[in-house]
Structure 1
Amino acid sequence: MRNDRHLSAEQLTTKIDSGEIDTVVVAFTDMQGRLQGKRLHAAYFRDEVLGHGTEGCNYLLGVDVEMNTVDGYAITSWERGYGDMEFVLDLDTIRVLTHLPATAMVQCDLAWPDGTPVVQSPRAILAAQVEKAASMGYVALAGTELEFILFEDSYESAHNADYQHLTPANQYNVDYSILGTSRVEGVLRDIRNTTYAAGMNVEGAKGECNFGQHEIGFLYDDVVVTADNHAVYKTVAKEIAAQHGKSLTFMAKYNEREGNSCHIHLSLRGQDGDIVFWDDGARTPLYDHFVAGVLAGMAELTLLFAPNVNSYKRFADGSFAPTAIAWGEDNRTCAVRLVGHGAGARMENRVPGGDVNPYLALAAMLAAGLHGIEQELELEPALVGNAYSSDKPRVPHTLREAREVFASSPLARATLGEEVVDHYTNMADVELAAYEAAVTDWELRRGFERL
């Protein structure tokens, strides 16, 4: 088991037999980073699903964020009849959800009815890069720093207000403020304690800059464990906010103030746990090659770090969200920041926002970094000073720009595979088409009377 707060299959069965657990959530993470699946009666799960798995419609990897069926996906369509995918239980992920009555959760991989993996599944994409790292003698560790904005409004009232003029849980910048976090400690405490009970290693909570903005941190862990926990945490946090009559958002840019970031920390170790990024008080050549690879692939893989139209609203000079593809020593103006030393030496990717799919982002970082190691790419000198005013190449500024460089990227196709690149290029096309057909509040205010 990942830790003693996870359950083994035997322990889960015992709790079902005793009536302590009566509901089991079976879930996978979709393209948008959301948990999708079923709530099963525990006895049915025990008797039928635990040994054989269950299934769901393959359209779940071919819809937009509003669950509309859309064209362009090779694996699912009206012509193909929208068949099933198998939900393959990962019994290492069994956890109790204490904020819900008598409920446990199991996360899943996806397979076709013949047992072959669904390679376009986010968890499968990350697993492929983990396998590649293992073949080179490495394991990957990661941590995600995920921010959200908390509102006094319920999700229902926010929806009815068209998500406009909501009341943030704090009325001023509460970055590191103990008083500011005390104001919303009821929600923060429930999230911390629930995620801890669900097997996550919680560090703590802190205020952030935007009104009502907060971050709950978790310990560094294996990359798949980190991605699994990230997906569960997002769902749990929303559910707990709703239980308090409030709402929260992880969208990258809710308003003109600071956006929600998701800085991703990543490092490699040897298969036996040996430190490979640091030696004799300095970075190793392998560390430099890895970072050089991430930088070389940054523009081509930005689509997997910033997957939505709204993602790109974060990238503004002086915003603490990066605009320059550069690295620096503990320099928060750069896209890549190197921090720590010894066992704590790691790179931080500051490009992703709160809307990122963690499996895709981690897979992209690993793919590019391992490419840098294989090709022994040379790391350019660190940027000293303000990256916003530098002459370094820029992070793609729009979803369309990111889509174009991703679709045509030899690196993406060589490391992630043709099927993956085509699938997520279509996801970008779907989002762009929906956005370009929409009439925004900005257009109405600007043009209704004056144009």
Structure 2
Amino acid sequence: MTLEHNPARGARLSPNVKIVTLRPCDVPPGGAIMNNDLSAQNITASGGMTLDELRAAVDAGAIDTIVMAAPDMQGRLQGKRVMPRFFLDNVLADASEGCNYLLAVDVEMTPVSGYDFASWDRGYGDFVFRPDLSTLRRAAWQEGAAIVLCDIALHDGTPAPVAPRSILRRQLDRLAAAGLTALAATELEFMLFRNTYEECMRRGYRDLDPANLYNVDYSILGTAKVEKVIRAIRNALEASGIRVENSKGECNLGQHEINFAYATALECADGHVIYKEAAKEIAQSQDHAITYMAKFNEREGNSCHIHLSLRDEANRPVFAAGGGHAPEFGHFLAGLAAHAAELSVLFAPNINSYKRYAVGSFAPTGLVWGHDNRTCAFRVLGHGRSLRVENRLPGGDVNPYLALAGMIAAGLDGMERRLPAQPAFTGNAYHGDLPRVPRTLSDALALWRHSAFAREAFGEQVVAHYARMAEVEVETFAAAVTDWERIRCFERM
């Protein structure tokens, strides 16, 4: 796919380049995927592989492994490594199967009660991994490997309603019905340590060695010290068909980010989860470890800023009008601000997520928008075709499919109901009488569980499923005895 500008950066290419609008969903919401025979399809994403190219690479011995993976509730890739002949001869005709507990477990992969979708009472049967061949690409960070992302379907062929990719597709279908396409890019921060994951675990994640010992935000010298790892990540993702823009240092010790060119919202989320997996594997191969947790220590947390803009069927920017904002942009921003608190479970899904929201931390607390104002939850920047909104609420632990689905649903509601545009906030949004981010996951869970808007936008099954996910995190944390408690109470209580 060729693009004219990057709404997450404002860069421009040739004015003659046009955007190819991809179908946001191969099947209608709830529609059947009864014909699983994909062998005749020859589709490819930008920088990806066609089936013909895959067959040629397999015949030449260049590809000997196909990674089939689907994002789970936490946004992690789960799946199988499949031999290419089996993939070409069997999976393309019949798809593949996996245990449906993958959408009903906690972070530790423990089966959890309380899910209607999958349970011991239902026998933890299989669902279907259906490869989306538009995502087929070389996995350049693994020798001889290709990767394809999958949609999760039920045995009757319908999309699994609680699968993150299904949830985003349904919101993209709503946009498509209105003649709109969402374009997005994520800025995902991480912390890099000079320890392997096994060493980090043995140390109890204490006394680790950050890859930088001072603030390297924008520092060329500081980032040069870790360029061996960061360069390997940049080049591997570029070689895998995910277009890299740049890398830079950040504020916390050993903190960095790598930024990618924008794409349609589904491609953006797909690229995000592939990048996250690849970066961890590459770091481990060089005896380093990466964490994307929202708040590793008391310094700056890991953010995941999400940039979003809309185009109409004629490829015209929806948010811009003349030299300023279109009325639709005001309504979209009003929807985001109105629903941000009750959608916090989608933007900040973990106990740890809420520790990132602190005054003066560059993580927002005020649910308002402002022009190029990093203290606001929603930062508006760019102009003309590059005008977009940056959602600064998500942290590095976010599931991008769910966050993008939440942004689209909230913005669409603002546009459909023509919610009155709010004036841009000026000044310091950490102070003043403003609507605020929920203080804890428990607070966010209560808002999500009782949200009439969430039920209307996502359906009762999705609300209940992700309410249970948040509830499990709250219950598990409440039962845990932490280092903080031992240090505070062991002798002095």
- TM bin, normalised by shorter chain, reads over 0.9
User: Could you say which residue in structure 1 is the equivalent of 2:4?
Assistant: none
One-letter code aligned to 1:305: F
User: Could you say which residue in structure 2 is the equivalent of 1:358?
Assistant: 400
1:272 to partner: Cα distance: 2.6
The answer as to 2:173 corresponding to 1:121 is no
What does 1:222-237 correspond to in 2, within 5 Å? 222-237=264-279
User: Could you say which residue in structure 1 is the equivalent of 2:15?
Assistant: none
Runs of 4+ aligned residues of structure 1 deviating over 3 Å after TM superposition are 1-4
Q: Give yes or no for contact 1:150–1:168 (8 Å, CA) kept in 2.
A: yes
Equivalent of 1:16 in 44, 55, 58: 58
What does 1:299-314 correspond to in 2, within 5 Å? 299-314=341-356
One-letter code aligned to 2:410: A
User: Could you say which residue in structure 1 is the equivalent of 2:427?
Assistant: 385
One-letter code aligned to 2:429: A
User: Could you say which residue in structure 2 is the equivalent of 1:420?
Assistant: 462
The answer as to 2:225 corresponding to 1:191 is no
Equivalent of 2:312 in 270, 295, 301: 270
Deviates more, 1:364-373 or 1:271-280: 271-280
The answer as to 2:447 corresponding to 1:405 is yes
User: Could you say which residue in structure 2 is the equivalent of 1:103?
Assistant: 145
1:2 to partner: Cα distance: 5.4
User: Could you say which residue in structure 2 is the equivalent of 1:139?
Assistant: 181
User: Could you say which residue in structure 1 is the equivalent of 2:133?
Assistant: 91
Distance (whole Å) between structure 1 residues aligned to residue 192 and residue 93 of structure 2: 40
What does 1:23-422 correspond to in 2, within 5 Å? 23-422=65-464
Distance (whole Å) between structure 1 residues aligned to residue 204 and residue 95 of structure 2: 39
1:334 to partner: Cα distance: 0.5
Deviates more, 1:13-22 or 1:259-268: 13-22
Q: State, as a whole percentage, how many aligned pairs show the same letter.
A: 55
Q: Give yes or no for contact 1:320–1:333 (8 Å, CA) kept in 2.
A: yes
Q: Deviations over 1:55-80 (max 9, x none)?
A: 10000000000000000100100110
1:308 to partner: Cα distance: 0.2
For the aligned residues, what is the CA RMSD?
0.8
One-letter code aligned to 1:199: G
Q: Give yes or no for contact 1:205–1:217 (8 Å, CA) kept in 2.
A: yes
Q: Give yes or no for contact 1:146–1:215 (8 Å, CA) kept in 2.
A: yes
One-letter code aligned to 1:28: A
1:181 to partner: Cα distance: 0.9
Structure 2 unaligned blocks of 5 or more: 1-42
1:89 to partner: Cα distance: 0.7
TM-score (norm 1): 0.99
Deviates more, 1:3-12 or 1:182-191: 3-12
1:379 to partner: Cα distance: 1.5
One-letter code aligned to 2:423: P
Distance (whole Å) between structure 2 residues aligned to residue 264 and residue 421 of structure 1: 22
Distance (whole Å) between structure 2 residues aligned to residue 129 and residue 44 of structure 1: 34
1:51 to partner: Cα distance: 2.2
Structure 1 unaligned blocks of 5 or more: none
Q: Deviations over 1:220-260 (max 9, x none)?
A: 11000000000000000000000000101000000000000
Q: Give yes or no for contact 1:86–1:110 (8 Å, CA) kept in 2.
A: yes
One-letter code aligned to 2:156: D
1:279 to partner: Cα distance: 1.3
One-letter code aligned to 2:231: R
Distance (whole Å) between structure 2 residues aligned to residue 316 and residue 178 of structure 1: 28
Q: Give yes or no for contact 1:16–1:46 (8 Å, CA) kept in 2.
A: no
Q: Give yes or no for contact 2:303–2:396 (8 Å, CA) kept in 1.
A: yes
- Tell me the secondary structure at the aligned position of residue 442 of structure 1: helix
Q: Give yes or no for contact 1:29–1:36 (8 Å, CA) kept in 2.
A: yes
Q: Give yes or no for contact 2:162–2:462 (8 Å, CA) kept in 1.
A: yes
Number of positions where the alignment pairs a residue of Structure 1 with one of Structure 2 = 451
One-letter code aligned to 2:446: E
Distance (whole Å) between structure 1 residues aligned to residue 140 and residue 151 of structure 2: 24
1:354 to partner: Cα distance: 0.1
- Tell me the secondary structure at the aligned position of residue 141 of structure 1: strand
Distance (whole Å) between structure 2 residues aligned to residue 27 and residue 273 of structure 1: 32
One-letter code aligned to 2:173: E
Distance (whole Å) between structure 1 residues aligned to residue 94 and residue 230 of structure 2: 38
- Tell me the secondary structure at the aligned position of residue 248 of structure 1: strand
One-letter code aligned to 1:231: V
Identify if the C-alpha distance between structure 1 residues 312 and 4 changes in structure 2 by more than 3 Å, giving closer, same or farther.
closer
One-letter code aligned to 1:145: E
Distance (whole Å) between structure 1 residues aligned to residue 173 and residue 103 of structure 2: 23
1:4 to partner: Cα distance: 4.8
- Tell me the secondary structure at the aligned position of residue 66 of structure 2: strand
Q: Give yes or no for contact 2:66–2:145 (8 Å, CA) kept in 1.
A: yes
Q: Give yes or no for contact 2:44–2:50 (8 Å, CA) kept in 1.
A: no
User: Could you say which residue in structure 1 is the equivalent of 2:36?
Assistant: none
User: Could you say which residue in structure 2 is the equivalent of 1:433?
Assistant: 475
Distance (whole Å) between structure 1 residues aligned to residue 313 and residue 240 of structure 2: 27
Distance (whole Å) between structure 2 residues aligned to residue 244 and residue 170 of structure 1: 16
Q: Give yes or no for contact 1:138–1:270 (8 Å, CA) kept in 2.
A: yes
Q: Deviations over 1:273-305 (max 9, x none)?
A: 111111111100001111110111000101100
Distance (whole Å) between structure 1 residues aligned to residue 94 and residue 381 of structure 2: 45
Distance (whole Å) between structure 2 residues aligned to residue 196 and residue 224 of structure 1: 18
1:3 to partner: Cα distance: 4.7
